[in-house]
Chain A
Amino acid sequence: MNVSVMQENLARGLSVVSRAVSTRSTLPVLGNVLIRTEDAGLKLTATNLEIGITYWVPGKIEKDGAITVPARLLTDIVAGLPSSERVELELQASNTLRIRCGRFESHVKGIDAEEFPAIPTAGERPTTRISQKVLKHALNQTTFAAASDEARPILTGVLWHFEGDQLTLAAADNYRIAVKTIATLDPVEETSLVVPARSLNELARVLNDTDDPVEVMLAPARNQVLFHLEGIDLVSRLIDGQFPNYQQVLPKGHTTRTVVDRDELFKAVRLAALIANAAANIVKLQVGADGGGVVVTAAAEVGDNEGLVEATVEGDGTTIAFNSRYLSDVLQNVTAEQFAIELNGPLSPGVFRPIGDDTYTHVVMPVRTTS
């Protein structure tokens, strides 16, 4: 193998695929990135067996070939090379990759490409296409709500429910749930799958803020889903099992509704969280207390905090306690100028809706407090 690529293209490619590199695998080759000449360029591939990312870097091939080298080392070396320079990669004897760039020359020992697991890439007809911008936005609003611990594996994933030209994404961790509906460019027969939130975070990272579509290929038989955009293929395994029936836990009505400015509420919650940190992260929202507004309070042994947020309040008014982290998460990830919060008393779920976007719903379960 002998190929020349531009430093910044190679560096960008390595930074994308290295997100999929397995950091603690018993299989040494999974700590490597696969480099293969293909299509007048270089294909970089990494996988941790949950997710695989392939990135195509344009280049000039002198001689075809393939090798795997430690991903971290190669990424660091390439990042340290002068930008806007040509990098020449040449496979030498005994699986050694020579990296030359300007006055620099490195040799890195690799593992034979044959040992790298096969990662599917696009090639089949896409099941559907989705605007990159729209999907990226939807992922940013949902994946954070997925469970991070493995107690219930199904909740570490995000439900993708296709129906007609609509896709509904739902992520939940048993204490909160985020639901977002977006449009697909091609209709899909009704189907559901659960994609690991970790994979979707990587997908969101590579999606661009453009209307150009990302192609989605469902391969339920292989238990995989594949995303293709210009120069990048991302394949993820799916999570087996039944996603909980979330629709039945979404509140149907409310007795109190308040509309608040997101920045103002976020500010108050962040301040209260500093105190709440010492008391199981409990912050209270007094909605409609003292003639309107929302009062955000926290109290712990270290001290207490109170912040008043201007708001319009309809209905009875109530006081409800939440884990401050869940409030911060939704206020941080869901960009809207204003939020409507719908409540049914202190022990019923709170519904957060961005004003002006009826395709998104976020539900947070409250905390029962004694006082």
Chain B
Amino acid sequence: MAHDRRVTERTILHVDLDAFFAAVEQRDRPELRGRPVVVGGGMPDQRGVVSAASYEARRFGIRSAMPLRTAGALCPEAVFLPVDGRKYQAVSREVMTILRRFTPLVEPISIDEAFLDVTASRALFGDGPTIGRTIRAAILAEVRLTASVGVASSKLVAKIASDLRKPDALVVVETGGEAAFLAPLAIQRLWGVGERTSAALAELGVTTMGELAALPNDLLVRRFGRHGAKLAERARGLDDDPVSEGAPVKSISHEHTFDIDTNDPVLIDKTLLAMADGVAGRLRSAGLRAATVQVKIRDSAFRTITRQRTLAEPTDLAQPIWRTALELARPEMRGIHVRLLGVGTSGFAEREQLTLFSEEAAGEDGRRRRATEAADAIRRRFGDRAVTRARLLGSGLPAPFERDPMKPLERRTGMIDRTTDPAGDSGRGSGRDSGGGGRSRGGGRRPVA
């Protein structure tokens, strides 16, 4: 039977670093190797959750997003470490740089995983499995971390493959063998199958992808609507979603997941301020001004909403971004516990709303801008932590870093000369997020393990 032409012609890799945060700590501190390591918001006697657990720790049943207290009870001898976001971000950037040697089509989906379309690179570097092996070897040699790689004809299958025999594994799914490869696997491994869908499928007696693929299409459509037809296609390994390193990035955003879901307005205000600060800093370092501010709020039930507003005037200052984010977020906070907050900006335009009272405007915004520029200069010289807002002192908020997709700066903006790429770019944009509110695919938001 002829396969879908679009699918058969591609070679897609999914590269996923193993137990990333914990692995970086074990790499840098040899005494931790072979020992259970838990990276999280604090010590086991504190409230907070596990961000990442080494494979040694996982043997005790420790999992991401588990309360630290539970982890401590499961494995009292584990080493508990705080999250060092900046370090992981730097390492992540090194890894992405390695990946870009093999193809320009790299789509990072979180701090520790990326899709690569190497279809056109096969002539240069060998077939998919060969490139997979070369990449694993390069990451091990240069960054001293292990990665699991899935090789397949689509993003969907490649991701499931890389996950299958973690850690430190290469799993190849031959073209044409996708459906057979997926058939015995649990349906929860599919994108778009959460608790609700899998429960509904269980009612139909479906627990594996093979069983799902065998269901009549019209039954799925009746039960799940359009989503249903897509499900069956995916269960057969059909997925033509392209790897997109993307057009110039359309948004710059920061997110923060609280260790403990919160409804504390002061903490929420401060978190929004910290993120507005981070986003504004990145706008300035990229030489951009953004016209649209959006907030993303996920509650303890994992319901995610986004709200956005266009500013009268594009900005790269924290104050207007924060103020807008607050106004957008406040009405949504009633009666919920917030798990995740995000502040994003988009609409990078050269358009400029002219002002009436330029002289007076310079009084308020101008003072603020001069203060901001002075602080930026200090940070460039003495480091990011040299200056901070009094309001954020002692707030216990981690320095902002992103688990978001990352892109080279020049591609983010589409307007920056490579040679003037400012050193120490403090982050990356996330093209995928620009739609706002869309379901994050490919597990981009799962707790990093």
| CB <8 Å contact, A249 and B357 | yes
Cα of A155 to Cα of B352 in the assembled complex, Å = 20
User: Counting chain A CB atoms within 10 Å of each CB, which of B292, B314, B347, B349 scores highest?
Assistant: B349
| CB <8 Å contact, A152 and B356 | no
Interface residues of A in 293-343 (CB under 8 A from B): 321, 323
A101 within 8 A of B: no
| CB <8 Å contact, A174 and B357 | yes
Whole-angstrom distance between the Cβ of A344 and the nearest chain B Cβ: 12
List the A residue with the shortest CB-CB distance to B312.
A175
Kindly list chain A residues whose C-beta atoms are within 8 Å of the C-beta of B349. 280
List the B residue with the shortest CB-CB distance to A249.
B356
Contact of A347 among B319, B354, B356 (CB under 8 A): B354
Kindly list chain A residues whose C-beta atoms are within 8 Å of the C-beta of B355. 174-175, 365
Contact bitstring B357-398, A, C-beta under 8 A = 1, else 0:
100110010000000000000000000000000000000000
A-B residue pair count with CB separations less than 8 angstroms = 65
Kindly list chain B residues whose C-beta atoms are within 8 Å of the C-beta of A142. none
User: Counting chain A CB atoms within 10 Å of each CB, which of B349, B351, B352, B355 scores highest?
Assistant: B351
Kindly list chain B residues whose C-beta atoms are within 8 Å of the C-beta of A282. 351
Kindly list chain B residues whose C-beta atoms are within 8 Å of the C-beta of A368. 350-354
Cα of A347 to Cα of B352 in the assembled complex, Å = 10
Kindly list chain A residues whose C-beta atoms are within 8 Å of the C-beta of B310. 280-281
A369 within 8 A of B: yes
With known contacts A177-B356, A249-B356, A323-B312, A152–B351 Cβ distance under 8 A: no
Contact of A280 among B327, B351, B361 (CB under 8 A): B351
| CB <8 Å contact, A365 and B356 | yes
Cα of A321 to Cα of B320 in the assembled complex, Å = 23
| CB <8 Å contact, B351 and A174 | no
Cα of A246 to Cα of B357 in the assembled complex, Å = 8
List the A residue with the shortest CB-CB distance to B320.
A151
Contact bitstring B296-338, A, C-beta under 8 A = 1, else 0:
0000000000000010111000011001000100000000000
Contact bitstring A104-121, B, C-beta under 8 A = 1, else 0:
000000000000000000
A370 within 8 A of B: yes
With known contacts A151-B364, A175-B312, A280-B347, A365–B320 Cβ distance under 8 A: no
Kindly list chain A residues whose C-beta atoms are within 8 Å of the C-beta of B171. none
B23 within 8 A of A: no
| CB <8 Å contact, A149 and B323 | yes
B157 within 8 A of A: no
Contact bitstring A342-371, B, C-beta under 8 A = 1, else 0:
000001010000000000000101111110
A273 within 8 A of B: no
A257 within 8 A of B: no
Whole-angstrom distance between the Cβ of B269 and the nearest chain A Cβ: 15
| CB <8 Å contact, B356 and A151 | no
B291 within 8 A of A: yes
Whole-angstrom distance between the Cβ of B265 and the nearest chain A Cβ: 11
Cα of A347 to Cα of B358 in the assembled complex, Å = 14
List the A residue with the shortest CB-CB distance to B311.
A280
Whole-angstrom distance between the Cβ of B51 and the nearest chain A Cβ: 35
Kindly list chain A residues whose C-beta atoms are within 8 Å of the C-beta of B364. 151-152
Whole-angstrom distance between the Cβ of A122 and the nearest chain B Cβ: 36
Contact of B356 among A174, A321, A323, A370 (CB under 8 A): A174
Contact bitstring A161-201, B, C-beta under 8 A = 1, else 0:
00000000000111111000000000000000000000000
Contact bitstring B246-272, A, C-beta under 8 A = 1, else 0:
000000000000000000000000000
| CB <8 Å contact, B356 and A367 | no
| CB <8 Å contact, A280 and B291 | yes
Contact of B353 among A172, A177, A367 (CB under 8 A): A367
Q: What is A's interface to B at a CB cutoff of 8 Å? A: 149-152, 172-177, 244, 246, 249, 280-282, 321, 323, 347, 349, 363, 365-370
Q: List 25 A-B contacts (CB under 8 A).
A: A151-B319, A151-B320, A151-B323, A151-B364, A172-B357, A174-B355, A175-B312, A175-B355, A175-B356, A177-B356, A244-B357, A244-B360, A280-B292, A280-B347, A280-B349, A281-B310, A323-B353, A347-B354, A349-B354, A363-B356, A365-B354, A367-B351, A367-B352, A367-B354, A368-B353
Q: What is B's interface to A at a CB cutoff of 8 Å? A: 291-292, 310, 312-314, 319-320, 323, 327, 347, 349-357, 360-361, 364
State the 7 A-B residue pairs at the shortest beta-carbon distance, nearest first. A368-B352, A365-B354, A244-B357, A280-B291, A174-B355, A249-B356, A370-B350
